[in-house]
Structure 1
């Protein structure tokens, strides 16, 4: 249905451009600078083109509104920004609702204990108690 409305919309746009270009303006227009003889006078032709322009313009606006309504009914209700973190491998998983997938990894104060760590693990997490020279054990 959307494709049919879009096709009609594009045809109306082209017809509207042609009708506007055919109308006589102060510069002469494209197609209205002929002789006065014929079935229609210049005034009747101008009135017919003006009426046709209004009819095509109203139809163009109606198809624009119809396309907007169809697009709104087909929308999924999610934002494009919600789908940024989803890749091909993660397509089965839903993106996080809190937006944490868009944030950089958090840094913690504790050193990493993983095998890919660049810094060696600390042996003693507790600070050493300060020793005074008088408290040192006597060596015999």
Structure 2
């Protein structure tokens, strides 16, 4: 469920970014569609501005509602999981004895290393 909502939120954010960029620029900012189109364009003049602004407002509202809904869904999905729930499983794997083919000698049986490597008993 959360993956579907996340994909829908991503699609809406991309569409909303495009709508914001094609809006007519009021102060000479980043608007792409700010040029005077006369009457020859597909949507020109006041009707285009009104419809783009209306679609931006609708998609902005849907974006906010989906964001809130997504946070609720994530909270419900992760309700019974905590940071310390899996600690015992991880520690068991870390503290288990390692399998080794090398024989480990007890401390009493280890050969003594001379303090001075140049000093040899000959």
TM over 0.5: yes
Deviation string for 1:43-99 (max 9, x for gaps)? 11111111010011011111111111111111134532x2584453427xxxxxxxx
- Partner residue, 1:70: 73
SS class of match (1:27): coil
For structure 1, which runs of at least 5 residues remain unmatched after alignment?
A: 92-140
Counterpart check, 1:13 vs 2:16: no
Question: Structure 1 residues 86, 33: CA separation in 2 closer, same or farther (over 3 Å shift)?
Answer: farther
Alpha-carbon distance in 1 for matches of 2:35, 2:92: 65
- Partner residue, 2:90: 88
Aligned residues: 92
- Partner residue, 1:44: 47
- Report which of the two has the higher share of helix: 2
Question: Structure 1 residues 3, 84: CA separation in 2 closer, same or farther (over 3 Å shift)?
Answer: closer
- Partner residue, 2:28: 27
Alpha-carbon distance in 1 for matches of 2:24, 2:37: 13
TM-score, length-scaled by structure 1: 0.55
CA RMSD of aligned residues (A): 2.7
Larger RCO (alpha carbons 8 Å, 6+ apart): 2
